[in-house]
Amino acid sequence: MWRGLWILVARAARGPCRPCTRQGSGAPAPGSGATIFALSSGQGRCGIAVIRTSGPASGHALRSLTAPRDLPPARRACLRLLTDPRSEEPLDRALVLWFPGPQSFTGEDCAEFHVHGGPAVVSGVLQALGSVPGLRPAEAGEFTRRAFAHGKLSLTEVEGLADLIHAETEAQRRQALRQLDGELGHLCRGWAETLTKALAHVEAYIDFGEDDNLEEDVLERADSQVQELEMALNAHLRDARRGQRLRSGAHVVVTGPPNAGKSSLVNLLSRKPVSIVSPEPGTTRDVLETPVDLAGFPVLLSDTAGLREGEGPVEQEGVRRARERLEQADLILAVLDASDLASPSSCNFLDTVVTSAIAQSHNGNSQRLLLVLNKSDLLLAGDLDLSPELPPHLLLSCLTGEGLDGLLEALRKELTAVCGDPSAGPPLLTRARHQHHLQGCLEALGHYKQAKDVALAAEALRIARGHLACLTSGGGTEEILDIIFRDFCVGK
Amino acid sequence: MFPLRGCGRQIAASFTKRLFPLARCSGDSAAPGIPHFDVVVIGGGHAGTEAAAAAARCGSRTLLLTHRVDTIGQMSCNPSFGGIGKGHLMREVDALDGLCSRICDQSGVHYKVLNRRKGPAVWGLRAQIDRKLYKQNMQKEILNTPLLTVQEGAVEDLILAEPEPEHTGKCRVRGVVLVDGSKVYADSVILTTGTFLRGMIVIGLEMHPAGRLGDQPSIGLAQTLEKLGFVVGRLKTGTPPRIAKESINFSILNKQTPDNPPIPFSFINETVWIKPEDQLPCYLTHTNPRVDEIVLENLHLNSHVKETTRGPRYCPSIESKVLRFPNRVHQVWLEPEGVDSDLIYPQGLSVTLPAELQEKMITCIRGLEKAKMIQPGYGVQYDYLDPRQITPSLETHLVQRLFFAGQINGTTGYEEAAAQGVIAGINASLRVRHKPPFVVSRTEGYIGVLIDDLTTLGTNEPYRMFTSRAEFRLSLRPDNADSRLTFRGYKEAGCVSQQRYERASWMKSSIQECISMLKSIEFSSSKWKKLIPEASISTDKSVPVRALDVLKYEEVDMELLAKAIPEPLKKYTECKELAERLKIEATYESVLFHQQQEIKNIQRDEALQLPKDLDYLTLRGVSLSSEVREKLHFSRPQTIGAASRIPGVTPAAVINLLRFVRTAQQRPVAATKSPKTGQCLCDTEKLEEQQL
């Protein structure tokens, strides 16, 4: 009786839009028939990465990648050569396991691939799985939800599920934001816009074409838009297969009011002079990124401009970028000048950034924050007692290095939590997901061209749009109606 | 079974004598002699007539209260029924044995299926209707419906009583008080007051309180509803002027001819009443820059256009068309109002200018140069109640046993009203008999889409049906409305006649039988090529091809297929409707397979019911943000599926709700408090039935 549960959560998880009308019908059905796959080991340094599938096509997927061998015996680890079923290129020698349902983690047929942990191998296996018919990347928390749906979790375990799903959704959202930041996101949104408009025009042709004077060439225009979109997607997918640069690792963003010592902290943590440090507030203007290894975890450390009403357009832009980066962070290092806590800029920062992040984390938001009070060397004994309302914090002096051990220990704890969560949407999975939906969109556009009647053609566009909506969110019926009534004088 | 057949007419004829043979006299000692009905319907428009007839079909003693018996079945605006999306609704109303489709088959003067070339899923059955005939036929039907009594009277107030403890709601409706102070008791009350709640008619700068030209608005009732705490909003709509037929020069205009033969609306009719050649044509003319000028020069004389009240975007007045799309030519359809009517309805010319300016505007349109305006166009502004205050069975959250249907819920259109009417009538009757409500899911019909949209999202403009609103458009087709709804209507509501049920059963089983036959017949493509040379079957594949796949080809129909393989296919071509429906099933087969999967998933969510008596604001033991609590409190979703569609209700909140319901179900205390919860949490068997 719980079978249907995860579906609705999956639909709801895609955003606040209504799954049915508002989401647009075409969203590829995460039906109970679908088989899902995901990288289920964390993104820390590891020799072995575990990729899992769940659903009826698991056996087929396992056979496809290990052809011509047959399924291994149930629940027994076997060594197999993995090949890409499309190109027949070898991918890796891997341990594979076969768990026929219901005796598996989710209760469905499951397969596990233990591959060598390099990004190229993992990415190759994920893409090979994505090409097997009936398989798609898992939505946030979907494995757990399936386990729940099949009665594999007790009610107590379920208690944590809501929080887990919330956290995973948040993490995937941030991951998607990072991926969609910049050119790729711009492209996706542009495609979604074109497609929505083409669909709106076809829908207008269906609902109003008979009685109202729509322009004669509504359908032809939609056709040419679809054709252009098809070409763009094709070109992009060919390009993407060569591999786009991935910014992997946990995203740690250093923020704070101007002149709190953010850049000093970044330089201290990365043990090299990444940022220019000067006593002048507003020295850092752009976002400076540096990949570092913190407590054994791959981390992308970002130094950002101090948050204030910037002077001049360059600094203002820097502050805007800093705020944007903050949105995408897995872990925020909030830095304040310990000797300057009473100043307006410090208070303002505490009120806006720190307290709101802490409040949100109580609501199950998985974004984490460490408050660091820098320049502890300038403090006199008892100074801090003046501000007893401070949230939990760490004292540090970038100058003397005092408190660094404590900070590293705290960072280790936080990063274990961030990186240890396999479902936090590692970039490889995001990319597989990306490719899956773009491919799905492209296929649907192909059906559009072959459709025998307009209703079928519109259905193909709805499905195509559903795929893009999975990447960009949005995609409701209301949007379509808005375009119809904006572009056409319909109605009587 | 129905010894009272025919008595309705007498009652109506003698309504002034207050004779209620169907009414029980109230058993209350406090109120001897006061008539008592199972269901009382207020309003005799398209929602009211369907509601009253449906309640009576379900076996409830029903009273229809209307301002004037002679306006029952009045088409207050356009002289047509159906269209794209709206035709779908009519087929569904008919599948539940509703009236409007059958009446239209007896009253149309110009039948035309729209979207013929765009695929059977979006065919729009539509007809120009003779207003007089429609009204006559509707009144005949209503006055002859067994168990249904009709009475004239304006309702001023509701009689309220203590709520039933086992249901939510702050009070229960017990009956109505008429303007003359007399009372009628009822176990359920349905309000279908249309535009009459504080209705206001606007022409130019003049405003008159009226529900429709010449009819008084209901003010007392609007006040009662507001006092009860209903959230009220305001909407506007409009209607064009009427023009004398003989004053129009049709000879210079484009003529639109109707279908021959006409396609009936109802599943139980094979033909319509009118001979194909006797149908009346429509004519097309266009506006011109002079019309724009008149509108723009006189905006200061047009208070309706200036108001901020929301009007429909898709049924715009000529003023809003001119303002939003300047320098364009707009279509004006000249539609007949009836066989012997002298009036023409200029569809597309809805206008609220002062009357003399309307006439001036009309006469500068081609073909209308000498046109005589008989009645000016006017705007109507009226109250509606936020439909998030009703359940999917159309009962209000606030007042038990009170149901709303039609424009009062913010919709526009005869068909939208009729669809809600049937559902309200059925549910008012089921409620009286303590049976579970009859709810149509959005996966089952446009009726479901309509009611789900209204009850979960509300509306801030008059809501009209479009096929683009239905996510399962390829499954919810005009041709299969009976297999979607007739069986449920028969078994769960009892609103469907035996005859219709048997016909639908025969049709469904024939289709299923033939489809599996078509799947089992397999030949090589070269053999198919020989059997049916007309079809462009490609021979490059070596796999065997099913007859069902051959039927998918545009140029192939059952006739052709049966000619090639007479045995066993010949018998399936004897019924034309069956043959056509088989062709449609084949066309959509591959897409429908995927859609069925998605539909099943959604129906599973819909089967997970939330207890009705949850107080979301104070609910303990479940972690929900106050924002989510507010939203759930206002909309009171009935199922987990509906809750997940409310904007702002997060996935985590949905999981928390589910967990709460599941734990509550295991505790006996909670279980007695909401007896239905446990029962409804099971997957319903009907979901497994194959849908055609």
* Chain A residues near residue B86 by CB distance under 8 angstroms: none
Instruction: For residue A426, give the H/E element and its range.
Output: none
* Chain B residues near residue A209 by CB distance under 8 angstroms: 115, 118
Following CA atoms B250, B256, B262, B266 in sequence, which dihedral angle do they give, to the nearest 10 degrees?
A: -100
* Chain B residues near residue A207 by CB distance under 8 angstroms: 84-85, 122, 466-468
> Which of A161, A203, A459 is the closest to B655 by Cβ?
A161
Q: Do A8 and B122 touch (CB under 8 A)?
A: no
**Segment A125-143, tens digit of pLDDT:** 888 898 888 888 887 667 7
**Segment B129-150, tens digit of pLDDT:** 999 999 999 999 999 999 999 9
**Segment B579-609, tens digit of pLDDT:** 999 999 999 998 888 788 778 777 777 777 7
Q: Which of B468, B480, B646, B688 best probes binding to A when mutated, by most A CB atoms within 10 angstroms? A: B468
Q: What is the mean pLDDT of chain A?
A: 76
Give B530's contacts (C-beta < 8 A, 6+ positions apart).
none
pLDDT at B310 over 70: no
Task: Measure the N-to-C terminal CA separation of chain B; round to a whole number of Å.
Answer: 33
Whether B33 has its CB under 8 Å from any CB of chain A: the answer is: no
Pick from B80, B173, B490: nearest CA to A210 = B80
**Segment A348-393, tens digit of pLDDT:** 888 888 877 777 665 555 568 888 988 888 877 666 655 667 788 8
Phi, psi dihedrals of residue A91, rounded to the nearest 5°: -105, -45
- Cβ neighbour number for residue B270 with a 10 Å cutoff: 12
Distance to chain A for B2, nearest Cα, Å: 43
pLDDT at A227 over 50: yes
pLDDT at B327 over 80: yes
Distance to chain A for B516, nearest Cα, Å: 23
* Chain B residues near residue A458 by CB distance under 8 angstroms: 473
**What pLDDT score was predicted for residue A366?**
59
Q: Do A213 and B330 touch (CB under 8 A)?
A: yes
**What pLDDT score was predicted for residue A27?**
31
pLDDT at A273 over 80: no
pLDDT at B652 over 80: no
Task: Mark out the alpha helices in A271-403 (DSSP H runs).
Answer: 312-328, 344-349, 355-362
How many Å apart are CA B440 and CA B472, to the nearest integer? 14
Q: Point out the least confidently predicted range of B67-71, B306-310, B390-394.
A: B306-310
Q: Do A213 and B457 touch (CB under 8 A)?
A: no
Give B132's contacts (C-beta < 8 A, 6+ positions apart).
B338, B340, B341
* Chain A residues near residue B681 by CB distance under 8 angstroms: 1
- Confidence bin at B626 (pLDDT 50/70/90): confident
Give the A:B interface size as CB pairs under 8 Å: 190
**Is residue B158 within 8 Å of residue B176, measured between CB atoms?**
yes
> Which of B115, B324, B649 is the closest to A206 by Cβ?
B115
**What pLDDT score was predicted for residue A243?**
40
Q: What is the mean pLDDT of chain B?
A: 87
Average pLDDT over residues A50-63: 92
- Confidence bin at A169 (pLDDT 50/70/90): low
Q: Do B659 and A162 touch (CB under 8 A)?
A: yes
The SS3 of residue B469 is helix
**What pLDDT score was predicted for residue B686?**
36
Average pLDDT over residues A154-160: 55
Regarding predicted confidence, which is higher, B3 or B456?
B456
* Chain A residues near residue B466 by CB distance under 8 angstroms: 203, 207, 481
> Which of A20, A364, A452 is the closest to B645 by Cβ?
A20
> Which of B470, B605, B649 is the closest to A4 by Cβ?
B605
**What pLDDT score was predicted for residue B4?**
35
> Which of A4, A19, A480 is the closest to B468 by Cβ?
A480
- Confidence bin at A40 (pLDDT 50/70/90): confident
Q: Do A20 and B471 touch (CB under 8 A)?
A: yes
* Contact residues, B window 576-595, toward A, CB-based 8 Å cutoff: 587-588, 591, 594
- Confidence bin at A395 (pLDDT 50/70/90): confident
Angle between helices A183-208 and A218-241 (to 10 degrees): 150
Instruction: For residue B335, give the H/E element and its range.
Output: strand B331-336
**Segment A464-482, tens digit of pLDDT:** 998 888 777 666 777 777 7
- Cβ neighbour number for residue B45 with a 10 Å cutoff: 29
pLDDT at B488 over 80: yes
pLDDT at B30 over 90: no
**What pLDDT score was predicted for residue A181?**
55
Q: Which segment, A300-314, B259-273, B535-549, is predicted with the most confidence on average? A: B259-273
pLDDT at A321 over 70: yes
How many Å apart are CA B142 and CA B435, to the nearest integer? 25
* Chain B residues near residue A3 by CB distance under 8 angstroms: 604, 683
| Token code pair at residue A365 | 């938001």
- Confidence bin at A33 (pLDDT 50/70/90): low
Q: Which of A6, A8, A486 best probes binding to B when mutated, by most B CB atoms within 10 angstroms? A: A8
Q: Do B658 and A206 touch (CB under 8 A)?
A: no
Q: Point out the least confidently predicted range of A120-129, B14-23, B169-178, B427-436.
A: B14-23
Beta pairing, strands B402-404 & B183-191: parallel
CA B480, B481, B484 angle in degrees (round to 5)?
Answer: 90
Q: Which of A2, A14, A21 best probes binding to B when mutated, by most B CB atoms within 10 angstroms? A: A21
Beta pairing, strands A394-395 & A368-374: parallel
- Confidence bin at A152 (pLDDT 50/70/90): confident
Q: Which of A20, A156, A164, A165 best probes binding to B when mutated, by most B CB atoms within 10 angstroms? A: A20
How many Å apart are CA A327 and CA A321, to the nearest integer? 10
Distance to chain B for A167, nearest Cα, Å: 9
How many Å apart are CA A399 and CA A268, to the nearest integer? 9
**What pLDDT score was predicted for residue A107?**
87
**Is residue A226 within 8 Å of residue A445, measured between CB atoms?**
yes
Q: Which segment, A298-302, B379-383, B423-427, is predicted with the most confidence on average? A: B423-427
**Cα–Cα distances in Å, from A134 out to A192, B472, B591?**
24, 21, 16
- Taking CA–CA distances from B123, the nearest residue in chain A reads A206
pLDDT at B633 over 90: no
**What pLDDT score was predicted for residue A172?**
56
**Is residue A322 within 8 Å of residue A304, measured between CB atoms?**
yes
**What pLDDT score was predicted for residue A313?**
82
Pick from A41, A27, A58: nearest CA to A118 = A41
ipTM for the predicted complex comes to 0.85
Average pLDDT over residues B324-340: 90
Regarding predicted confidence, which is higher, A117 or A440?
A440
Q: Point out the least confidently predicted range of B21-25, B83-87, B359-363.
A: B21-25
pLDDT at A38 over 90: no
**Segment B65-96, tens digit of pLDDT:** 999 999 999 998 899 999 999 999 999 999 99
**What pLDDT score was predicted for residue A17?**
32
